[in-house]
Chains A and B, each alone.
Chain A
Amino acid sequence: MYSERALKEFRHPKNIGEIKNPDGLGKVGNAQCGDLLWTYIKVGKNKAGKEIITDIKVKTFGCVAAIATSSILTKIAKGITIEEALKINKEKIAKELDGLPPNKMHCSVLAMDGLKRAIEDYRNKKAK
């Protein structure tokens, strides 16, 4: 059912955990479907003065797909600008995992939602 790549990511997920005093925190999920995801980010600036995600960690309650997509997203997002991060789409996440079963595609949407929510949280805090 799962690709070898997705199972590998599930077995050895990266960037799992929390960041103390994160710049942004995104909590998303649905207890009914059985996946909950907390995304923590630290934001800094690159040489060109653009905001980049310097660190990202996630905590995931969910199935193999939820954990694998969480992990792969943190790998893609770490070190890129916020603008670039917001452009990551679910197809890219699924492709990195050699595809996901059709009924698990929503997990990649969830991972992206978590990151978007964390960025939103960061922007809201900054605006205050």
Chain B
Amino acid sequence: MRRIYLDHAATTPIDARALKAMRPYFSEKYGNAGSLHYFGNEAKKAMEKARAEIAHAINAEPDEIIFTSGGTESDNLALQEIAYPNKSRGNHIITSVFEHHAVLHTCKFLEKDGFKVTYLDVDSRGFISPKELESAITGRTILVSVMHANNEIGTIQPIAEIGKICRERGIYFHTDAVQTVGKISIDVKKMNIDLLSSSAHKFYGPKGVGFLYVRKGTSIHPLMHGGGQENGLRSGTENVAGIVGMAEALKISIREMGKENACELKLRNKLIKGCLKISDSWLNGSLTNRLAGNANLGFDFVEGESIVIMLDEKGIAASTGSACSTKSLEPSHVLRAIGLPHVKCHGSLRLTLGRSTTARDIDYLLKVLPGIIKKLRAMSPLRKGVDISEFEGKIEHTHEGHAH
């Protein structure tokens, strides 16, 4: 069967050129970057070259880049290890309601430890307001964490404005840029960013490796303790092959960014236009200030997991914000944040394009999707005018796991 991958926000295939660059570091140049001998130096040299290249990509200095295992670790390191050492200055953190769970759950964890967290709302188009952020700042605020672009609806947040507000007040500003590094130009100096999280597998690099940018002079403590690698901020033998692959993938992404974005944008807009021809459908999030490859659509009266499984059987890989697709059985917090009622959250479909996406892929999707929605609607008790207000109740947790 022909397989079409439209889930690039989840992960991307590794670029062949990045894979080639990594290869020698598994079995030929396998040294530990901390060793004094030839093998160690060889690994160390490759790693420092990668560090310089990554720093250059975001206009940072090489010693401001800490290698980590990916986005989640970078977010945890940034939030926890800014929060604790600065607790004497204040215990207030500001973030937004639609951050990735790596940020949100870390904030929840910090709340249990005496920190106060303000979760900024987002508007119906999917943006946070710098003004609201400004008025949420108190004398006890030590850290602001706002994502660069949202992973579900792709809306790009005004982080340069936020960075400026934070810098003027001496508050640390962290941004989760997992969805944007390699896709949008980032200049940490111009944007007044103090900490930035990134993950290689989102920009055609390998999984299990990422980085955290930490601006010089930022007082941060390590999350991982041990051999003192990464200037003592992240112990553990460095993943040299992964780091080399990440740097190569990032160089390629930045080089091809303009061409890539133009191509994805054209195909994405064709996709959205085609999907919106289906009755009772809508686009989640603003069409402008949005990642080029992101489309997130809603279809009334049907449920997302069913759409995803039916698409999968036609060879198309997609994702959904439906509760049924998650372990928690809660619908997407992002779609809830932009004001969608529960039942509409369940009918969402995220399609994220990438380097390999072609016009033929989009044509094929647009050929099969209307039939799938029609089939599911024929099974559904919902249609225009059916009142479901009596079923809007809260989930009750019982011995069955959860009851209705």
Task: List 7 contacting pairs A-B, 8 Å CB cutoff, sorted by A.
Answer: A13-B379, A31-B343, A36-B382, A36-B391, A59-B381, A106-B402, A109-B400
**A35: CB under 8 A from chain B?**
yes
Q: B82-126: which residues lie under 8 A (CB-CB) from chain A?
A: none
Query: Could you tell me the distance in whole angstroms from the C-beta of B301 to the nearest C-beta in chain A?
Result: 7
B380 touches A61 (CB 8 A): yes
A110 touches B381 (CB 8 A): no
Residue of A nearest to B331 (CB): A34
With A62-B306, A63-B324, A102-B401 already in contact, the answer to whether A33 and B381 are too (CB < 8 A) is no
Interface residues of A (CB under 8 A from B): 2, 7, 10-11, 13, 16, 27-38, 59-67, 90, 102-106, 109-110, 113
Query: Could you tell me the distance in whole angstroms from the C-beta of B403 to the nearest C-beta in chain A?
Result: 7
What secondary structure prevails in chain A residues at the interface with B? Answer: mixed
Query: Could you tell me the distance in whole angstroms from the C-beta of B244 to the nearest C-beta in chain A?
Result: 34
B306 touches A67 (CB 8 A): yes
- Residue numbers in B under 8 Å from A30 (CB-CB): 391, 393, 395, 404
Q: A106 touches which one: B342, B346, B401 (CB < 8 A)?
A: B401
Interface residues of B (CB under 8 A from A): 301-303, 305-306, 309, 313, 322-325, 327, 329-331, 341-343, 345-346, 378-382, 388, 391-395, 400-404
- Residue numbers in A under 8 Å from B327 (CB-CB): 103
Query: Could you tell me the distance in whole angstroms from the C-beta of A37 to the nearest C-beta in chain B?
Result: 7
B329 touches A103 (CB 8 A): yes
- Residue numbers in B under 8 Å from A90 (CB-CB): 400
Residue of B nearest to A34 (CB): B346
- Residue numbers in A under 8 Å from B306 (CB-CB): 10, 62-64, 67
- Residue numbers in A under 8 Å from B324 (CB-CB): 33-35, 62-66, 104
Query: Could you tell me the distance in whole angstroms from the C-beta of B337 to the nearest C-beta in chain A?
Result: 15
With A31-B392, A32-B394, A36-B388 already in contact, the answer to whether A61 and B303 are too (CB < 8 A) is yes
